[in-house]
């Protein structure tokens, strides 16, 4: 252990991480470079995994033995935008007041990252027999793809972990299941003409409306299927259209129309079912109607993000370990998506557990309570003690 290692309390580390503006549209490299310097001061080995463009990177560090897999503390470094929100102080300067720490990313999820990093000296001093790995990703708030390249290396040039704890805010409840989230844009290309003569053109807006009605039908069917586990709220797969844009004037058949939509699927739902059903309707019904007077138009759907669901894995090493450390006797579900499904899809036992409440995430004056920050530190110290005894 280096005698020159930098030391931070969890709150000091949180203040440092919040000070980096890592909104998903921007680079996270300044934060990653800070973390690399910090880890180097403690002689902690790490690997940087850049994205294709080279303007963002994930980081994977190991404390303890490097010849075996241990427990991954996985957090993302990106945050959602602050534009248009009524903050009462600078979002990128941590403000501590009335038992709360305010700042963008304070709870989602730089607090978890800060805890893992601030406790590095304690992890080193514990003489771990089972290693603790720290994983910092990017683009979780947009695509959840920023963790994928690193996961592909686990079990190859990086040790395959025994368990992953994804530290999204759960109030330190142990979460073993969440829905998938898959987002799309569908664009209908029509042909402009005067609205008094619809037979010489094709309305993209009218066809888009048909497709949206079909998504409503699919959503109603998903609601009727329900949730056999009885664990989710709402207890069914949801289908939602968020925006629609098209046309130029009331009396012109629209040339194009685009709508953005998503589904949030229960674990076990085939991720291809809903898009395949919409595509079948598009080809067999909507496209034929669009082109009934001529070969005027086409329909295209693009996938923007695909976040796998997290399915229950009763008795897994991750679940058993997390429940013991958290002092809980049962697992929970959450309504939002996380990177956990990517780890599980790679065959790694994974749960979600982190300090703070999701209710404070993405809001102006986002915060985590100091009580939850301290509870998170205690959770990680118990993990270190367990890894030292293993």
b/e map 357-388, b = 16+ CB within 10 Å: ebebbeeebbbbbeebbebbbebbbebbebbb
- 290 and 329 in a single domain? The answer is no
**pLDDT value at position 135?**
98
Asked whether residue 253 is assigned to any structural domain, the reply reads: yes
Asked whether residue 2 is assigned to any structural domain, the reply reads: no
Asked whether residue 314 is assigned to any structural domain, the reply reads: yes
Contact 318, 351 (CB under 8 A): yes
**pLDDT value at position 1?**
41
Helix (H, G, I), strand (E, B) or coil at 192: coil
- 300 and 325 in a single domain? The answer is no
- 149 and 271 in a single domain? The answer is no
CATH number of residue 201's parent domain? 3.30.70.360
CATH number of residue 166's parent domain? 3.40.630.10
**pLDDT value at position 390?**
84
Domain count, the chain: 2
- 151 and 48 in a single domain? The answer is yes
Asked whether residue 3 is assigned to any structural domain, the reply reads: no
Compute CA distances 223 → 218, 258, 278, 332, 369, whole Å.
Answer: 9, 25, 17, 21, 36
Which of 267, 286, 307 marks a domain boundary?
Answer: 307
Helix 204-225 to helix 273-281 angle (10° resolution) is 140
Asked whether residue 5 is assigned to any structural domain, the reply reads: no
DSSP type of residue 266: P
- 29 and 97 in a single domain? The answer is yes
- 140 and 17 in a single domain? The answer is yes
Note if the bond before 118 is cis, omega within 30 degrees: no
- 166 and 197 in a single domain? The answer is no
Asked whether residue 88 is assigned to any structural domain, the reply reads: yes
- 99 and 223 in a single domain? The answer is no
Contact 226, 141 (CB under 8 A): no
Query: By residue range, what is the domain housing residue 299?
Result: 180-307
Asked whether residue 1 is assigned to any structural domain, the reply reads: no
Asked whether residue 206 is assigned to any structural domain, the reply reads: yes
- 164 and 186 in a single domain? The answer is no
Count CB neighbours of 50 within 10 A. Answer: 14
Bridge partners of 262, per DSSP, are 183, 240
Which of 307, 322, 340 marks a domain boundary?
Answer: 307
- 161 and 273 in a single domain? The answer is no
- 120 and 141 in a single domain? The answer is yes
pLDDT < 70 positions in the chain: 1-3
- 159 and 110 in a single domain? The answer is yes
Which of 279, 307, 335 marks a domain boundary?
Answer: 307
- Pairing relationship of beta strands 57-63 and 256-265 according to DSSP bridges: unpaired
**pLDDT value at position 364?**
98
**pLDDT value at position 75?**
98
HSE-up (13 A, CA, CB side) for residue 291: 14
- Pairing relationship of beta strands 57-63 and 46-50 according to DSSP bridges: antiparallel
């Amino acid at each position: 252990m280096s005698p020159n290692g930098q030391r931070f309390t969890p709150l000091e580390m949180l203040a440092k991480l919040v000070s980096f503006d890592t909104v998903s549209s921007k680079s996270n490299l300044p934060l990653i470079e800070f973390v690399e310097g910090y880890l180097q001061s403690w002689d902690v080995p790490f690997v940087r995994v850049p994205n294709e463009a080279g303007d963002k990177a994930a980081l994977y560090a190991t404390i303890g033995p490097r010849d075996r897999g241990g427990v991954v503390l996985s957090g993302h470094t990106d945050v959602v935008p602050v534009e248009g929100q009524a903050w009462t102080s600078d979002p990128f300067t941590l403000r501590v007041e009335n038992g709360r720490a305010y700042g963008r990313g304070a709870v989602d999820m730089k607090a978890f990252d800060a805890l893992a990093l601030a406790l590095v000296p304690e992890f080193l001093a514990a003489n771990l027999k089972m290693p603790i790995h720290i994983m910092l990703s990017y683009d979780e708030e947009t695509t959840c793809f920023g963790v994928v390249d690193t996961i592909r290396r686990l079990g190859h040039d990086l040790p395959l972990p025994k368990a992953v704890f994804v530290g999204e805010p759960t109030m330190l409840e142990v979460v073993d299941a969440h829905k998938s989230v898959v987002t799309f844009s569908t664009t209908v290309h029509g042909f402009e003409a005067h609205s008094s003569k619809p037979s010489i053109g094709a309305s993209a807006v009218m066809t888009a409306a048909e497709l949206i009605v079909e998504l409503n039908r699919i959503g109603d069917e998903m609601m009727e299927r329900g949730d056999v586990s009885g664990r989710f709220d709402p207890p069914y797969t949801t289908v939602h259209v968020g925006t629609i844009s098209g046309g130029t004037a009331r009396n012109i058949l629209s040339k194009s129309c685009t709508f953005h939509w998503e589904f949030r699927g229960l674990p076990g739902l085939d991720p291809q079912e809903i898009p395949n059903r919409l595509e079948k309707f598009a080809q067999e019904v909507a496209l034929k109607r669009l082109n009934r007077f001529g070969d005027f138009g086409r329909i295209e759907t693009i996938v923007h993000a695909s976040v796998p669901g997290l399915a229950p894995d009763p008795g897994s090493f991750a679940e058993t370990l997390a429940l013991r450390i958290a002092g809980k006797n049962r697992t929970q579900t959450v309504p939002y998506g996380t990177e956990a499904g990517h780890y599980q899809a790679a065959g790694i036992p994974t749960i979600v557990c982190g300090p703070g409440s999701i209710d404070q995430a993405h809001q102006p004056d986002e915060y985590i309570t100091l009580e939850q920050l301290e509870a998170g530190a205690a959770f990680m110290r118990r993990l270190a003690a367990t890894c030292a005894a293993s």
